[in-house]
Amino acid sequence: MSLEDRITRLEHREAIKQLRAEYCYRVDARDWDGYAELFTADAHLDFGPVGTFDGRDEVRHFVEHVVGEEHPFLAHMIHNPIIEVDGESGTGRWYFEVPCTFADGSAGWIQGQYHDVYELVGDTWRFAEMVADFNYFAEYDEGWAEIVGDD
């Protein structure tokens, strides 16, 4: 692989990291339109027990009317990215931890992994698919030890 190809790959990986960071900041700031712009027009979201959503309009509706109404406060933290880039597409895997509040006023934690597919649209990376695998939704006071068990 040429030096130019290696630099391009690094630039793409860095842009994808920026995309994931923008995702976190926009959802936490309740910027629903900005959040939706991070996705391709035909994006697919699979949030397991929360539901699946197809297309940018459904993605926007999901973030405002499902996430936004259930969680008045969110502070996404992401870790340990594994990003692969192949031309104008890529994949990524990230751990996430989210201290949050729930609609009932309680505080809690959400934790799991994001599994992403990215597409380069023009010169901008976008989410084409996102799967959230949740390990737990836990009340702050009770913690998550009983949820994840001794497995």
Instruction: State the Rg of the chain over Cα.
Output: 16
Say how far apart CA 150 and CA 94 lie, in whole Å: 23
**Which CATH code of 3.90.1150.10, 3.10.450.50, 3.40.50.1360, 3.40.309.10 fits the domain covering 3-148?**
3.10.450.50
**Exposure of 115 in the CB half-sphere (CA atoms within 13 A):** 7
Identify the pLDDT of residue 144.
82
Residue with token string 């996404």:
76
The pTM assigned to this predicted structure is 0.92
Identify the pLDDT of residue 150.
64
Q: Could you state, in chain order, the average pLDDT of each consecutive group of 10 residues for the chain (151 residues)?
A: 91 97 98 98 96 97 96 96 96 97 94 98 97 94 80 56
Pairing verdict, β 89-101 and 73-74: antiparallel
List all residues 6 or more positions away from 22 whose beta carbon is below 8 Å from its beta carbon: 34, 38
Taken as a whole, the chain contains a residue count of 151
